Amino acid sequence: MRLIVASGNAHKIAEIAAMFRSGGLDTLDVVGMKSLGEPPEIVESARDFRGNALLKVQGISRWLAQTGSCGGRTAADDWVLADDSGLCVHALGGRPGVHSARFAGEDATDQENNQRLVEELQTQGLDASPGHYEVVLALGRVCTPLEAPPSIAVDRHKGVLLVSGRCDGEVRCTARGEGGFGYDPHFWVDDGARTFAELSQDQKAPRSHRGQAMRELITLLRRMER
């Protein structure tokens, strides 16, 4: 079985693949969407993570169906996984939220987004604020709906299954660590002892928002196989 990640973020794709392996789904072939061609731009116009995750999984599934004809290089039963995630800083009214990847503008780098984050906090005279990472994963198939039995309680929308995750911490102007990606150097956990960027992948996965959602998704897929 192949799972196509609807993302161009190599760090995210590698993180998702590692989580599937650690969850016992090591026979799943996880690939990024760009390995199958030049994907269309999906306008993330929804107001929340759930809406944007749905837009991405539906848009990339349509593109794969059209280019692969559900029988060429893309099989009808290939899975497509999209996520929308971001950092919500409480002192900033939940921003950057759904705009996390482009907080400093379209095509902004992690460094530019982090700089904007620090500037926003400092403008309010703050060195830190409570905050949380949030994610919604949306799983569908290229050409056929993905349905869970009615007995399994899961968020679903037109053949797409959705799970969510959240991780609370403190967002500080001070950055530390070289690992991770995005806002990880500014996201402090363990009562402020270290940042997400100081954790290894094995340390981060059990506690991160994406790790939480992936564990729920893996459990769901195993239940569906029974």
CA distance 207 to 115: 25
Q: How confident is the model at residue 226 (pLDDT cuts 50, 70, 90)?
A: low
Q: How confident is the model at residue 15 (pLDDT cuts 50, 70, 90)?
A: confident
Task: Please check the confidence at residue 69 and state whether its pLDDT lies above 60.
Answer: no
107 catalytic, yes or no? no
| 133 compared with 220, residue with greater pLDDT | 133
What is the pTM (predicted TM-score) of this model?
A: 0.88
| 217 compared with 74, residue with greater pLDDT | 217
Q: Give the pLDDT mean for 25-51.
A: 90
Alpha helix ranges (H) inside the chain: 10-22, 49-68, 110-123, 201-204, 209-225
- The single-letter code of the amino acid at 181 is F
- The single-letter code of the amino acid at 125 is G
Q: How confident is the model at residue 73 (pLDDT cuts 50, 70, 90)?
A: low
Q: Give the pLDDT mean for 141-147.
A: 82
- The residue length of the chain stands at 226
∠ Cα 31 49 41 (to 5°): 55
The one catalytic residue among 26, 78, 83, 84: 84
CB atoms within 10 A of CB 8: 11
Q: Which fold has domain 2-225?
A: Maf protein (3.90.950)
- What are the extents of the domains in the chain? 2-225
Instruction: Determine contact, residues 75/142, Cβ cutoff 8 Å.
Output: yes
